[in-house]
Structure 1
């Protein structure tokens, strides 16, 4: 692909300098004193910059949050290590305003596609799995509530930036080992980090190995037309056992060429294999129902990403940064189902995602409180899929099986941003980002191409009630978008396994699936308003409201259609730009020492920390009648409570958390509804410090688990219900700093 540079770029701000310890360090390194030269003595900062550097070294998570130019939550090593989690997904589920859908995080109750996942400030590669990333490899997590110009504007709900550990300033050896148990047999995981520094070079090499083993027990009940088209009812007790293992490696090499120039190489490698076994005990209650088959499935995945970053301060007020990266994601799968004790359906396939990025930025420091940034961002990404499905040795759909399908996206963006601390109380962030998104889908038919232009202005305004910034108000007006996934653009059918005989029709509850190459991005206009109060002893109280108006909403719509792969009409579910929608919400967060949050009730010296959050959401889709015409998967509210207590007489800390979402109903179409049951997660931990360098930790996640239940039903009385048994995960870990 030929790349077109659309302009010059600048980037300044705490999110961009990868792996630094805080905003103060960013400012101290990136903003030289006026009038300085190349000599070290000439580059000594002035009074204001000296103050910022000292604060950066002492900055807490709350300090970084308070000084940010836009709404941002920061979670450092203390939060990452607290529960002894062996993956980042378990860390995220306890953070305020975040819920998990499988291993995908969701903000503001919106689906994962509305939440931008970043890795060191860049969009995470396709297939990147948070539930297979060891927290030991992460320096901090930053959660922002709206888009910024220097990053992708695909952050309708917000963004989660995973900052990997930076190369150390001194030699480092950290060892972590963990024994876990969920079902059947224990699993092992561990990580080892090597850090070295030689003159102007520093190297960090974290390596982590992991295993998992899970079992899902389900009860599936259906009342729907059977294989003969007549009403039928069935109940199946299913057991799905899944296990696998993998490895993560994240090397980082820093070269300080001079006081003004640095070169950084950062890579990330994730590789693993998985296996699933499923079996069912079936009960026919009426008619001739279609039933799930037993099956064995296996596969593997691989994610490789490598980035190069060059930064040069070529004057006291000017800074340039150039970045280039390449990533590759691959997946393979092989599955065999069994019907009546005979091999029935075989599915073999693979997919590959390849992306190349290049960006640059130029920053001009107008004065000590005002900086201007301009820049560009280019991306080329392609997905190729190949799949072959046979039943009893014959192709399921002869014209599609074994045929390659592909989709491609080219993105070109220009942006400008202005960060200005107007005075000690007012500061503002103004940004404008223009992106052109060109997509192309190729299958058996002629290629389908689309080009969209998205302009996303952003205004973030902060007002401090006092110069210290203990109390402040944040307001934001932003434009953002959600581009369709490449897999959603591929016009290839997936035949429903319950009704694989394409000479007959299927049902509305068991449709075939197909992509849509004509999808357009969703566009969202947003308003955010928040009041943050920072308490003297380090506590925090935050109250916020938000509003999003979404145009060209994408939703899967099921309809009875005439299709190429069958001589009779089939029910097909495909994504379409369905309607307009609105969502709004209230967000409350409280955290701090118990004595500070509850004065007079709790001793101020008690080493007990409390935290809690409540989030209330409301949404509506214009094309559907109420009252349950909410956005897909958005719960009406969610809550999170937690504590940790440090014993005075023992080198021990303990804590726990509770996350809860209620049940709710969603009207998905004019005739189809979804009931989602309530969800609850109770986590506890105990940590024992043998010495400053040796500690042990025991944790239990999802204690007293709830069974998960979902039910899809139609207005004509048919339904499908699934109940999943919850399980507790136990872990025992040891950390040694050598």
Structure 2
């Protein structure tokens, strides 16, 4: 289990990955870049060009808890339009002892092992915790596609594809706390490595007839991924100047290396069918990303007459190097040698793609002040954060005079929160905060990408500024008995300076009817919704050992693009979770069931529109305790063998998309099978 598996039951959390993939968190259904992922309260760099962090890289065994922060506060970064998720790793106080765990996951086609160990206790004059986890991962998907010339039109071809993603995740974290002088020193580190191979093989048939005489293409596409995430941190807190002063320094990084080859052999380009090949295409691409963030913070907190005052300064230095190289071979058969094994020497020298070789330096200075207070039943918080950014990007694939671009901006982010305790069991909360979303790295590159959006070209814009949002959250919460809670929350976001694709008016590389397009701060949008959450034991019905949970989120938004009004891209219209856990105290056992479903999503860019539909997901577990130390847990996920279905509308130009003159209409369905897991845990 990973952090992604933990988060999929959280209200308003959606995912848009493949079946069995829970990586980029879409809080309130918005793109992953609108959600801020923190680890122990600090930002971590992600491999994605949109700055997002894949939460499925962190195993659940390293996690103490996950904090959901719906509205921003002044003493945290404001890069959180949809909200923040703070992944709190186990620290020196989490355990006094340890445990070992071993088990396996059974997929449709293979068994993958897992093992882990965690220990915590007194050591080296303080408190020490260390944990390690290794887990085999697999996602054996099958896909089937049908392609037409237009909706309701003639079937052009079908594609049968296997997509097997397999690999191992290795994770380690440690935390050490010790008293030093009048204060306390906290040293922490974590490291996560993902080794993964994605093996896609497909056969394409003319007119949907799956026989050798109708074979169109044979495609072999392999992607080898090795990603390292790491973080080192030190904090020292001590009494000072009538309060507490804390100094923090940290370094975090990600190294992402990917190597991909694609072989495609084409048939029926002439009158001779399989086994006579007509054309061969061989591509090799290598991506390397090295991202470092060095951060320091000095903050002070002290009591006031009505509450507490916090203020401080945070500085962050980001250095990111990106390299995307490729080589392409195209030749007709038999006028060239037969295909050779996919190694770089057989492809020729690798060359950088446009925009694929660049460095980015970003300095951020963020002073903040926050005041908390309480008067009777009313608790309040107000604060101000100023985020100044100085950014420089140098692209080595464009003309020398245009390869470097510098920009800077400063944004004031006020916030205010109010909590009114109606009585001992219920309260009302209200928040207002200004937040931002920074541009994607690839949008900032000044390179020109030909035929990137349909037949249109895309020109980067290093002068882009962040999107800014004002947000309001209003909620009601009531405790039920000793362990239950029910709540409802409504939210609204007004987002300005949206980064949308604009037409420069220049003719594109493909000639008349195509254009050079460019991202610009030219749009506005709104996001709103209601979240209902219930979790309680059924004590009122005499069922103290039965717990139920239910949450439902209704999500909506509106944005205008060149084609009219739509939701924010790929926002599901609802997210729904329901389940129960039953304790069997006399047997030392428990079991439970969870059902999850998210609504349809629609996305539209120039050249392509896609509708995504997921089936519901059913999970179940049973757990048996043996004595005081042993626990055996059996669980199953994707028990309904859910499918992901996508409908693609594809066009070549803006005009053809407006007039619904299709280049292609595609239906794709994907399944991955059920997964069963057995884990034996020994506690000492």
The question of whether the paired residues in 2 share the 8 Å contact of 1:686 and 1:699 is answered with: yes
Give SS of 1:607's match: strand
CA RMSD of aligned residues (A): 3.0
The question of whether the paired residues in 1 share the 8 Å contact of 2:326 and 2:352 is answered with: no
Q: How far apart, CA to CA, are the structure 2 residues paired with 1:512 and 1:548?
A: 32
What is the CA-CA distance between 1:704 and the residue it aligns to? 0.4
Match of 1:206 in 2: 131
The question of whether the paired residues in 1 share the 8 Å contact of 2:355 and 2:448 is answered with: no
The question of whether the paired residues in 2 share the 8 Å contact of 1:383 and 1:486 is answered with: no
List aligned pairs for 1:8-407, cutoff 5 A.
86-102=1-17, 103-127=23-47, 128-168=53-93, 171-198=96-123, 200-223=125-148, 233-258=156-181, 260-285=182-207, 293-314=219-240, 317-340=242-265, 344-367=282-305, 369-392=306-329, 400=353, 404-407=357-360
Give SS of 1:131's match: helix
The question of whether the paired residues in 2 share the 8 Å contact of 1:389 and 1:395 is answered with: no
Match of 1:416 among 340, 358, 369: 369
What is the CA-CA distance between 1:203 and the residue it aligns to? 1.2
Aligned length: 622
Structure whose residues are more often strand by fraction:
2
What is the CA-CA distance between 1:490 and the residue it aligns to? 2.7
Gaps of 5+ in 2: 18-22, 48-52, 209-213, 266-276, 330-345, 650-656
Give SS of 2:4's match: helix
- Superposed CA offset, 1:165-191 (max 9, x none): 011487522111121022321111121
Match of 2:583 among 646, 654, 658: 646
Residues 507 and 261 of structure 1, relative CA distance in 2, 3 Å threshold? closer
Match of 1:591 in 2: 535
Residues 616 and 506 of structure 1, relative CA distance in 2, 3 Å threshold? closer
- Superposed CA offset, 1:600-646 (max 9, x none): xxx323421111111111211144676x6111111222211111001
Residues 570 and 247 of structure 1, relative CA distance in 2, 3 Å threshold? farther
Match of 1:680 in 2: 616
What is the CA-CA distance between 1:703 and the residue it aligns to? 1.1
Residues 659 and 557 of structure 1, relative CA distance in 2, 3 Å threshold? farther
What is the CA-CA distance between 1:220 and the residue it aligns to? 2.6
Residues 493 and 610 of structure 1, relative CA distance in 2, 3 Å threshold? farther
What is the CA-CA distance between 1:693 and the residue it aligns to? 2.1
Gaps of 5+ in 1: 1-85, 226-230, 496-504, 597-602
Match of 2:559 in 1: 621
Residues 139 and 674 of structure 1, relative CA distance in 2, 3 Å threshold? same
- Superposed CA offset, 1:559-590 (max 9, x none): 996567x7898677864434100111111111
The question of whether the paired residues in 1 share the 8 Å contact of 2:98 and 2:119 is answered with: yes
Q: How far apart, CA to CA, are the structure 2 residues paired with 1:590 and 1:711?
A: 34
Residues 578 and 419 of structure 1, relative CA distance in 2, 3 Å threshold? same
TM-score normalised over the length of structure 2: 0.84
Residues 325 and 215 of structure 1, relative CA distance in 2, 3 Å threshold? same
Q: How far apart, CA to CA, are the structure 2 residues paired with 1:571 and 1:348?
A: 29
1:730 aligns with 2:656: no
What is the CA-CA distance between 1:491 and the residue it aligns to? 3.9
Match of 1:79 in 2: none
Deviates further, 553-562 or 354-363? 553-562
Give SS of 1:421's match: strand
The question of whether the paired residues in 2 share the 8 Å contact of 1:96 and 1:612 is answered with: no
Q: How far apart, CA to CA, are the structure 1 residues paired with 2:350 and 2:125?
A: 60
- Superposed CA offset, 1:450-490 (max 9, x none): 21211111010010112x3x110001111111112334423
Match of 1:45 in 2: none
Q: How far apart, CA to CA, are the structure 1 residues paired with 2:581 and 2:517?
A: 47
The question of whether the paired residues in 2 share the 8 Å contact of 1:176 and 1:190 is answered with: yes
Residues 285 and 492 of structure 1, relative CA distance in 2, 3 Å threshold? farther
Q: How far apart, CA to CA, are the structure 1 residues paired with 2:645 and 2:349?
A: 32
- Superposed CA offset, 1:71-121 (max 9, x none): xxxxxxxxxxxxxxx211111101222122331112111111111101000
- Superposed CA offset, 1:140-163 (max 9, x none): 111011111111101111111000
- Superposed CA offset, 1:229-285 (max 9, x none): xx9933211111111113111111111124x40111111111232112111110123
Q: How far apart, CA to CA, are the structure 2 residues paired with 1:307 and 1:359?
A: 11
1:490 aligns with 2:490: no
Give SS of 1:149's match: coil
- Superposed CA offset, 1:378-431 (max 9, x none): 1111221112211126779967479731222221111100011122x0010101
Q: How far apart, CA to CA, are the structure 1 residues paired with 2:525 and 2:453?
A: 28
Residues 448 and 722 of structure 1, relative CA distance in 2, 3 Å threshold? farther
List aligned pairs for 1:501-520, cutoff 5 A.
508=454, 515-520=460-465
Residues 581 and 138 of structure 1, relative CA distance in 2, 3 Å threshold? same
Q: How far apart, CA to CA, are the structure 2 residues paired with 1:494 and 1:303?
A: 30
Q: How far apart, CA to CA, are the structure 1 residues paired with 2:138 and 2:238?
A: 47
Q: How far apart, CA to CA, are the structure 2 residues paired with 1:506 and 1:205?
A: 47
Q: How far apart, CA to CA, are the structure 1 residues paired with 2:6 and 2:411?
A: 33
The question of whether the paired residues in 2 share the 8 Å contact of 1:561 and 1:569 is answered with: no
Residues 312 and 692 of structure 1, relative CA distance in 2, 3 Å threshold? same
Match of 1:698 in 2: 634
- Superposed CA offset, 1:334-353 (max 9, x none): 22211228561111231111
The question of whether the paired residues in 1 share the 8 Å contact of 2:507 and 2:516 is answered with: no
Q: How far apart, CA to CA, are the structure 2 residues paired with 1:213 and 1:559?
A: 44
Match of 2:385 in 1: 433
List aligned pairs for 1:552-571, cutoff 5 A.
552-555=497-500, 562=507
Give SS of 2:587's match: coil
Q: How far apart, CA to CA, are the structure 2 residues paired with 1:125 and 1:305?
A: 10
- Superposed CA offset, 1:22-55 (max 9, x none): xxxxxxxxxxxxxxxxxxxxxxxxxxxxxxxxxx
Give SS of 2:240's match: coil
Match of 1:458 in 2: 415
What is the CA-CA distance between 1:523 and the residue it aligns to? 0.4
The question of whether the paired residues in 1 share the 8 Å contact of 2:461 and 2:519 is answered with: yes
Q: How far apart, CA to CA, are the structure 2 residues paired with 1:353 and 1:667?
A: 30
TM-score normalised over the length of structure 1: 0.79
Residues 201 and 573 of structure 1, relative CA distance in 2, 3 Å threshold? farther
Give SS of 1:519's match: coil
